[in-house]
Amino acid sequence: MPAVRVAARLDVKGPALVKGRSMEGVRKLGDPADFARKYADDGADELVFVDVVASLYGRCSMLPIIDRVSAHVFVPITVVGGLRSVEDMAQAMRCGADKVGINTAAVARPALISEAATAFGSQAVVVSIEAKRRGDGYEAFTDGGREATGRDAIAWAHEAAALGAGEILVTSVDRDGTMQGFDLDLVERIAAGVAVPVVVSGGCASADDAATAARRVDAVAIGAAFHAGRVTVAQVKAAMMRDGMRVRPVECAA
C-alpha cells in the first residue's frame, strides 16, 4: 500500500504567501520560498502552490517563485492556477513543477485534461476542484471559489479522472483557512469510486484531524494550520502512523 502523502499548501498572490478564510480576505504572511524550504526541511512530501488570483488576471504569475524554489527544494512541486493551455503547463514544468493543476480552464474546456495527459502523462495532470456545499450536495466553483459552475463536484471529479487526470485536488471552500476540521462528508464522496489519487485540502484542525481524513484519501494538503504553527509535518505523520498508515519518515526527507 502506498505511503500517505503530507503536502504543504502555499497560496500565493503576487510575490507573497497569503492565506484567507473561505478563499477570501487574504493576508500576507511572507516569502513563499522561505516557507517552502521550511516545509521541505520539516519532511513534507510535496509542495502545492496555488496562485489565488491567476484566474482574475488570466495568467500564472508565480512561475519565477517556482523557479527559485525548485533550485533549492527537492520535493515534488504542484503548480495550480492560471494554466490555460498545454504550453502554459510546459512552461510551469520548465520552471520546476512536477505536476500541473487546472481548474477554470478544465471546466471551460474539459478536452484540455486529455490533451495534457497525452502531452505529459496522466501522473503529471491534476484537476483542482473547489467545492462548496449546496443543500445535500456540493457544487464545483472556479476563480478562488468565486464563480459557480453549475457542475456537481463529485460527478466532475469522476469525469475529470475519466478524461485522463492523474490526481484530483479537492478543496472545501467552506472550510478553507478556518482550521475547523476537514469536511469528511466531501472527502468521502469524492474519494468513493474515483480511480485516481485524491488530495484533500481545506480546514485542517489538528494532526488527528489530518489522520482521520487521510484514511479515506491518498494525501492531505495543509496550509493555514502549518503557517500558524498549529501543527507540524512531524506531528501529522506521527498521528498517521499511530493509526496504522504508512508514511515517508521525516528523517529521510530532503
List, by residue number, the catalytic residues.
11, 130
Q: DSSP labels for the chain? A: -PPBEEEEEEEEETTEEEEEETTEEEEEEE-HHHHHHHHHHHT-SEEEEEETTHHHHTS---HHHHHHHHTT--S-EEEESS--SHHHHHHHHHTT-SEEEESHHHHH-THHHHHHHHHH-GGGEEEEEEEEEETTEEEEEETTTTEEEEEEHHHHHHHHHHHT-SEEEEEETTTTTT-S---HHHHHHHHTT--S-EEEES---SHHHHHHHHTTSSEEEE-HHHHTTSS-HHHHHHHHHHTT--B--GGG--
CA 236, 243, 167, 97 dihedral sign is positive
Report the distance separating Cα 163 and Cα 122, nearest Å: 9
With 0-12 CB in 10 A as exposed, 13-18 as middle and 19+ as buried, what is 249? Answer: exposed
